[in-house]
Amino acid sequence: MSIHRPDTLGGKAAVVGIGATEFSKNSGRSELKLAVEAVGAALDDAGLTPADVDGLVTFTMDTSPEITVAQAAGIGELSFFSRIHYGGGAACATVQQAALAVASGVADVIVCYRAFNERSGRRFGSGVQRREPTAEGAALGWNLPSGLLTPASWVAMAAQRYLHAYGLGPEVFGHVAVVDRRHAARNPAAYFHGKPITLADHAASRWIVEPLRLLDCCQETDGGQALVVTSVERARDLPRPPAVVVAAAQGAGRSQEQMTSFYRDGLTGLPETGVVARQLWRSSGLAPADIDVGILYDHFTPFVLMQLEEFGFCGPGEGGAFVAADALPLNTHGGQLGEAYLHGMNGIAEAVRQIRGTSVNQVAGAARSLVTAGTGVPTSGLILGADG
């Protein structure tokens, strides 16, 4: 059972630095090198040095261990290091872990990072290959013989049910792709900079696994992203406006599996996102109408619609119309469909830019950003806000 009371983390920590490598399809260097570049850029952005860092947080899937990154980046002793599981579901939880450590006094300056050669190295989109038998993998084993071999095929099951339940066609997913690419077209850091698309382009793109087309699926990217977290008090002495952690949460639903939760009571929603949403609203005291920008994890377009519905921005089956109406500024960096697939960490950076007022697609007066992490897996979320 998830908790039913507000937590007390909000307002105690802030993201004060963001840094990334270029986003490419062939970085030409190791994942460790990407991580170190991103960490260095984030510290420069924060006005801090490696000597200030005493904590590191990353993903269990990251290949660059905390102590190795510390050595290569010139960081000294560490009093805190942590890793979060479940792929993209970990993104916002890295900041939550850092905020918890700062709030409890375990560490003062923590860098969260993620770096991989996901395009030129291991391509997640290729599906399950050469996996050692584990209890965690047993659920996948039930589905692989029937041909559900890739993330797209797993999401397609839920997407097809969603369309059937609400009497919709696959074109409804295209609204997310169009919005993301519109923002990416104006973002020089985006892989699809200068390349917007239309609903007709979406409809003409080839099937990957029905009802998902090519333009419903995120990119495969090489790159690194890092975020610096410290106390709100210390943040006020640093050069850039802090993005305060207003609320942070993790969530896993009943009968949760990794991308293959097909035996739940229904397939038209994302219960793990519902757990996160309830806690973010409960702890922050905010509601959907209070959010200025939504940075929603978009590895596949159908799950963006379901996230909007789980968070209460619109009713069940209404996500497509909500996006089409531009009712909420969404994925203003271009998302993982348009900017880069960095397991959601680049989305957190965009939420920080919106709070600072420095996004290339800046929302006027943006004071609160909602960020979500990977869905279909145990997940996490953040609300970031302006100081004061």
d(CA 230, CA 320): 37
d(CA 361, CA 140): 39
d(CA 53, CA 80): 10
Residues labelled catalytic: 297, 341
User: How is residue 332 written in tokens?
Assistant: 């203003």
d(CA 41, CA 56): 15
- Comparing CA positions, the residue from 39, 81, 86 lying closest to residue 61 is 86
Residues 6+ apart with CB under 8 A from 56: 66, 69, 70, 75, 78, 80, 81, 82, 110, 111, 112, 113
Phi, psi values for residue 109, rounded to 5°:
-130, 120
Phi, psi values for residue 385, rounded to 5°:
-140, 165
Long-range contacts of 144-150 (CB under 8 A, 24+ apart): 148/260, 150/125, 150/126, 150/209
